[in-house]
Structure 1
Amino acid sequence: MNYHHLHYFWVVATEGGMARAAERLGVAVQTVSAQVHQLERALGVSLFKPEGRGLTLTEAGQVALAQAQQIFQLGAQLPEAVRAAAQAPTLRLAVGLADGLPKLLVHQVLSPVLGVSNLRLQCFEDNPDDLLAALALHRLDLVLADRPPAANPNLRLYTHRLGGSGMGWYAAPELHAKAASDFPRSMAGVPVLLPTAHAAVRTPLDRWFQRLDLRPQVVGEFQDSALLKTFGASGLGVFPAVDAVHEHVVQRYGVLRVGAIEGVEEQVWAIGTEKRVQHPLVAKLLAGTGPKTAS
Structure 2
Amino acid sequence: MLNYRQLLYFWSVAKAGGMARAAEQLHLTPQTLSGQIAQLEETLGVSLFRRAGRRLELTETGHLTLSYAEEIFQVGSELEETLRNRQGERPFLFRVGIADMVPKSIAYRLLAPALALPEPVRMVCREDKFEQLLAELAIHRLDMVLADSPLPPGMDVRGYSHRLGECGLTFFAAPGLAARLEVGFPHLLHGAPLLIPSESGAVRAPLLRWLRGKDIHPRLVGEFDDGALMKAFGQAGAGVFPAPTAIAGEVAAQYGVVPLGRTEAVTESFFLITVERKISHPAALAVSEAARHGLFSTQGDD
TM-score interval, smaller chain = 0.5 to 0.7
Q: Is the 8 A contact 1:179 1:258 kept in 2?
A: no
Q: TM-score, normalised by structure 1?
A: 0.66
Q: Quote the offset at 1:279 in angstroms.
A: 1.6
Residue equivalent to 2:42: none
Larger radius of gyration: 1
Q: Quote the offset at 1:276 in angstroms.
A: 8.7
Among 211, 214, 230, the residue aligned to 2:213: 211
CA distance in 1, matches of 2:182, 2:115: 37
Q: Quote the offset at 1:102 in angstroms.
A: 1.1
Q: Quote the offset at 1:87 in angstroms.
A: 5.1
Q: Could you say what the CA RMSD is over the residues aligned between the two structures, in angstroms?
A: 2.4
Closer, same or farther in 2 for the Cα pair 1:201/1:90, shift >3 Å?
Answer: same
1:132-151 paired onto structure 2 within 5 Å:
132-151=134-153
CA distance in 2, matches of 1:220, 1:152: 31
User: Could you say what secondary structure the match of 1:183 adopts?
Assistant: coil
Closer, same or farther in 2 for the Cα pair 1:96/1:85, shift >3 Å?
Answer: closer
When structure 1 is superposed on structure 2, of 153-162 and 221-230 the one drifting more is: 153-162
User: Could you say what secondary structure the match of 1:107 adopts?
Assistant: helix
Q: Quote the offset at 1:130 in angstroms.
A: 1.1
Closer, same or farther in 2 for the Cα pair 1:264/1:139, shift >3 Å?
Answer: same
Residue equivalent to 1:191: 193
Among 171, 178, 181, the residue aligned to 1:179: 181
CA distance in 1, matches of 2:102, 2:279: 28
Q: Is the 8 A contact 1:169 1:257 kept in 2?
A: yes
Residue equivalent to 2:100: 99
Q: Is the 8 A contact 1:109 1:163 kept in 2?
A: no
- Residue identity opposite 2:98 in structure 1: L
CA distance in 2, matches of 1:153, 1:241: 28
Percent of residue pairs identical: 40
1:5-16 paired onto structure 2 within 5 Å:
none
1:1-295 paired onto structure 2 within 5 Å:
88-116=89-117, 117-152=119-154, 154-179=156-181, 181-274=183-276, 278-287=280-289, 289=292
When structure 1 is superposed on structure 2, of 283-292 and 252-261 the one drifting more is: 283-292
CA distance in 1, matches of 2:155, 2:163: 21
Q: Is the 8 A contact 1:147 1:267 kept in 2?
A: yes
| Structure 1 unpaired stretches of 5+ | 1-83
When structure 1 is superposed on structure 2, of 103-112 and 270-279 the one drifting more is: 270-279
- Residue identity opposite 1:159 in structure 2: S
Q: Quote the offset at 1:85 in angstroms.
A: 9.3
CA distance in 1, matches of 2:96, 2:156: 21
Could you list the per-position Cα deviations for residues 100-124 of structure 1 after superposition, in whole angstroms to 9, with x for gaps in the alignment? 1111111111132132352211111
Q: Quote the offset at 1:144 in angstroms.
A: 0.9
May I ask how many residue pairs the two structures share in their alignment?
A: 210
Could you list the per-position Cα deviations for residues 8-40 of structure 1 after superposition, in whole angstroms to 9, with x for gaps in the alignment? xxxxxxxxxxxxxxxxxxxxxxxxxxxxxxxxx
Closer, same or farther in 2 for the Cα pair 1:180/1:101, shift >3 Å?
Answer: farther
Q: Quote the offset at 1:151 in angstroms.
A: 2.9
CA distance in 1, matches of 2:153, 2:194: 34
